[in-house]
Structure 1
């Protein structure tokens, strides 16, 4: 974690996309993470896909301009039961990744089980377990929306990563 680093975490989706902006701050000589802003981008079920993607791009562009994140962290598409949903989420991820590239953010992607392992210490943690662990990392964090909590967890995964990768 670098002091002052601003991280944008994304839980992708076309109907509901969770996002969170976290910042590393120093309080009493200790590095801590605080939520700068977070929310949900929602669209109605009958909204055409191209309109949903445009909404995602427009909203995230505004968030990016406002908070100027250094890093973009996105949940990877790992396994989907519904192919149509998976394709839709893949479209949303493409828009998000393009936005990160255009805005010169460093981009990281993590699988759902990696996020759960990083935040909760268990790769199959439940939503409730994840939210409890998020509250341990970030004081006074009372996020009710699952997608927003997931976006916070995605960003925390980047901030929890090992500084150096051990080889051999």
Structure 2
């Protein structure tokens, strides 16, 4: 009897920001990962905020239409030292969530610590360690640049690994929600 190939899943990872939004589209077939796209959306500093947010929304819609991801993940808003920065990142996250929701994509959120843990095995890994593991896991010649793009790839990898593990645990009866994961 022939065994069916595991279904191909395509995840869009987003590292939100107002000036720079990192994005990566990663495909998973079984345990094999491949990078389909990885870049940043930039908005000019002098552009008024509403137009910057509109640009982010429009570009994300184009990326979704081009790559047809089946699911999406983004980094949760972290506590920022600067309240203004946190508010602006929150606005960019909201616009990204709207773009994803308008395209019918399920959205998962992960803390920076969860992403680092999933990609490197160490929740306090630095950017260089995360970037290097992204390079290794996606079989790339170089770490994606800039850091925002590498971070988005790490978020997509975290999601694909986490949701794969959750499905396997649910099927085996071993799934027990943890407080750090927010119960999935």
TM superposition score normalised by structure 1: 0.92
Distance 2:102 2:145 in 1: 31
Is 1:158 the counterpart of 2:159 in the alignment?
yes
Distance 1:141 1:53, change over 3 A: farther
Q: How many residues align?
A: 163
Distance 1:24 1:141 in 2: 19
CA deviation after TM superposition for structure 1 residue 141, in Å: 4.6
Q: What pairs with 1:4-153 in structure 2 (closer than 5 Å)?
A: 4-25=8-29, 31-142=31-142, 143-153=144-154
CA contact (8 A) 1:11 1:147 kept: yes
RMSD between superposed Cα atoms in Å: 1.5
Gaps of 5+ in 2: 1-5, 178-184
Distance 2:147 2:68 in 1: 24
Matched position secondary structure for 1:5: strand
TM superposition score normalised by structure 2: 0.84
The structure having more radius of gyration, on CA atoms, is 2
Q: Which runs of 4+ in 1 moved over 4 A?
A: none
Distance 1:141 1:108, change over 3 A: farther
